[in-house]
Copies of this chain bind each other. A is one copy, B any other.
Amino acid sequence: MSPKNAFYAQSGGVTAVINASACGVIETARQHPDRIGKVLAGRNGIIGALTEDLIDTSLETPADIAALRHTPSGAFGSCRYKLKSLEQNRAEYERLIEVFRAHDIGYFFYNGGGDSADTCLKVSQLAATLGYPIQAIHVPKTVDNDLPFTDVCPGFGSVAKYVAVSMREASFDVASMAKTSTKVFVMEVMGRHAGWIAAAGGLASDAECPLPIVILFPELVFEPAPFLARVAELVETHGYCSIVVSEGVKDASGQFLADQGLKDAFGHAQLGGVAPVIANLLRQELKLKYHWAVADYLQRAARHIASKTDVEQAYALGRAAVELALAGHNAVMPTIVRQSDEPYVWTLGEAPLAEVANRERKMPREFISEDGFGISEAGRRYLQPLIQGEDYPPYHNGLPQYVRLQNRAVPRLTTSSFALK
């Protein structure tokens, strides 16, 4: 049996370490030329398969593939595009098979979050549903950390480290200024549905370096009165405080605080952040001088301060995906299994995609402190290991040397084109 080619694609929001998973997939596949031919990457995710826009990764040098490990973002382009069900859009699946058959694809590696796990599951069923034999393995990735079964999702640990480090640094800054100037610093972080990222701000403060930090979680309804009381108390005691607020925080009516109906001078709705809303509240109610920041993409792209643990896990899961495929598995996702908290020991496991897809992992309430404004000891035990270790990229001229691949296209073999819906 001649070796089949593999398809690899990146999906959804990118991270500081999704390319480390790509590196794990490609380097491992290259070690098995008897079983796997070329790794063909989808340009801009699954769209690359549907439009037959494939990248021949075999043309990239080993050094460039190795450099993916320290390069943030999605090297082949990502996309936000969810396959419909077979019943709703059979043409999409038939098109995938047309392209896969033309390029002799026998392995499908999909690197993404919950929606992508669902897509991957559907592809894994193509043998049964449409008679095309393929093994589909999902490589987990999401800063939202909301995939079930795995101890953590690659990408999250590095965002967590960025947020923890930034909160510590900004807190030191505010502490210096508080006597005559800024007394509160507010930082907005990602996490529309879950407070995993906001929780990481709590790590900035620990026994060795206690800092007055308030966390606003999307899991809890925002109540101004207790929040203001907590801030006032910390400023009274410490002279300052720092606040990390999740973009997903809602008020009692269920409305995002970020959507407070801001209007610009022309009456246009302004898509605001939640940080300025919180800052404004502090100014009005407590008359405190403040500064605010919105980290946005900086937090998930910050490969320069990536967690070494995260990088290693991302790579290991990419490698494991290929090894699972070689072992004959289908419709699974390799996972991180926590064996112990301290020292953090983890091994690899696997989970069936049928149980992963469309199932969201929520942050347990017991990870939040009783008063709702911090992390509990259980939360700290979970989070602390994930930010361990530094894994600096190489620098040239003062800037990180991130690789940009050639991304040369595979010649098209199908004659038909496909219009994306």
Shortest beta-carbon distance from A233 to chain B in Å: 21
| Chain A 299-317 per-residue mask, 1 if CB under 8 angstroms from chain B, else 0 | 0111111010000000000
The one of B187, B209, B384 in contact with A402, judged by C-beta atoms closer than 8 angstroms, is B209
Docked CA distance A181–B78 (Å): 9
Shortest beta-carbon distance from A244 to chain B in Å: 12
Q: Which residues of B contact A173 (CB under 8 A)?
A: 14, 72-73, 297, 300-301
Q: Are A292 and B296 in contact (CB under 8 A)?
A: yes
Given the contacts A14-B173, A164-B398, A297-B293, A260 and B265 also touching, CB distance less than 8 Å: yes
Q: Is A88 an interface residue (CB 8 A)?
A: no
CB-CB nearest in chain B for A76: B176
Docked CA distance A174–B74 (Å): 9
Shortest beta-carbon distance from A155 to chain B in Å: 12
Given the contacts A172-B301, A206-B397, A301-B173, A180 and B81 also touching, CB distance less than 8 Å: yes
The one of B301, B389, B398 in contact with A169, judged by C-beta atoms closer than 8 angstroms, is B301
Q: Is A10 an interface residue (CB 8 A)?
A: yes
Residue tally, chain A, CB below 8 Å to B: 90
Q: Are A297 and B264 in contact (CB under 8 A)?
A: no
Docked CA distance A3–B244 (Å): 48
Q: Are B294 and A277 in contact (CB under 8 A)?
A: no
| Chain A 17-46 per-residue mask, 1 if CB under 8 angstroms from chain B, else 0 | 000000000000000000000000000110
CB-CB nearest in chain B for A292: B296
Q: Which residues of B contact A301 (CB under 8 A)?
A: 166, 169-170, 172-173
Q: Are A268 and B297 in contact (CB under 8 A)?
A: no
The one of B174, B268, B307 in contact with A280, judged by C-beta atoms closer than 8 angstroms, is B268
Q: Are B291 and A77 in contact (CB under 8 A)?
A: no
CB-CB nearest in chain B for A388: B398
Q: Is A191 an interface residue (CB 8 A)?
A: no
Docked CA distance A402–B206 (Å): 12
Shortest beta-carbon distance from A351 to chain B in Å: 26
Q: Are B280 and A271 in contact (CB under 8 A)?
A: yes
Q: Are B398 and A180 in contact (CB under 8 A)?
A: no
CB-CB nearest in chain B for A172: B73
Q: Are B297 and A170 in contact (CB under 8 A)?
A: yes
Q: Are A176 and B264 in contact (CB under 8 A)?
A: no
Q: Are A177 and B13 in contact (CB under 8 A)?
A: yes
Q: Are A293 and B291 in contact (CB under 8 A)?
A: no
Q: Is A399 an interface residue (CB 8 A)?
A: yes
Docked CA distance A137–B280 (Å): 40
Q: Which residues of B contact A208 (CB under 8 A)?
A: 396, 401
Q: Which residues of B contact A384 (CB under 8 A)?
A: 397-398
A14-B177, A168-B399, A169-B298 given; 15 more Cβ-contact pairs under 8 Å: A71-B172, A72-B173, A78-B176, A79-B181, A80-B177, A166-B302, A208-B396, A209-B402, A262-B264, A262-B265, A262-B270, A264-B277, A271-B276, A272-B276, A292-B296
